[in-house]
């Protein structure tokens, strides 16, 4: 069992597990070049050892963390999707629909923007 699966074992609600898995499956199906990593107790995806996206759960929501620069670029789209946000992440409430096209655009931006990045986080 990998760390993502172990992480999901802590989620008591099967509907919440299914929702998290749907995001993991979407990312892996659409971006097979991304690597699963588990750092700071958070499932993450990287590309050439640089951070692309983190996905974690909380009692009331799923947190999607793409880095501050990306949050700034997509803040209006995140707001339009109805998600609350901070400087570094946005929250998908358990009852919310997942805007997979938004997640796809965020990932694509990070892959392209960090193409020459040789560090885990942007400098």
3-state secondary structure (DSSP) of residue 118: coil
What local confidence, expressed as pLDDT, does residue 74 receive?
A: 98
CATH number at residue 44: 3.90.1150.200
Is residue 40 situated within a structural domain? Answer: yes
What local confidence, expressed as pLDDT, does residue 91 receive?
A: 98
Is residue 68 situated within a structural domain? Answer: yes
Has residue 1 got a pLDDT over 60? Answer: no
Distance CA 53, CA 92 (A): 14
Q: How confident is the model at residue 123 (pLDDT cuts 50, 70, 90)?
A: confident
Is residue 25 situated within a structural domain? Answer: yes
What are 39-84's pLDDT values in tens digits? 998 999 999 999 999 999 999 999 999 999 999 999 999 999 999 9
Q: Residue 43: count other Cβ atoms within 10 Å of its Cβ.
A: 23
What local confidence, expressed as pLDDT, does residue 9 receive?
A: 79
Is residue 123 situated within a structural domain? Answer: no
- C-alpha separations of 36 from 27, 32, 82 in Å: 10, 10, 27
pTM of the model: 0.94
What are 82-101's pLDDT values in tens digits? 999 999 999 999 999 999 99
Please count the structural domains in the chain.
1
């Amino acid at each position: 069992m990998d760390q993502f699966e172990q992480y999901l074992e802590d989620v008591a609600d099967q509907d919440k597990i299914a929702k998290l898995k749907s995001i993991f499956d979407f990312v892996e199906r659409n971006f097979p070049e991304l690597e699963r990593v588990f750092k700071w107790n958070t499932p993450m995806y990287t590309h050439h050892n640089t951070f692309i996206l983190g996905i974690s759960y909380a009692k009331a929501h799923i947190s999607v963390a793409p880095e501050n620069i990306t949050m700034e670029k997509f803040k209006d789209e995140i707001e339009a999707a109805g998600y609350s946000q901070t400087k570094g992440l946005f929250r998908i409430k358990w009852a919310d629909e997942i805007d997979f096209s938004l997640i796809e655009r965020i990932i694509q931006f990070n892959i392209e923007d960090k193409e020459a990045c040789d560090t885990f986080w942007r400098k």
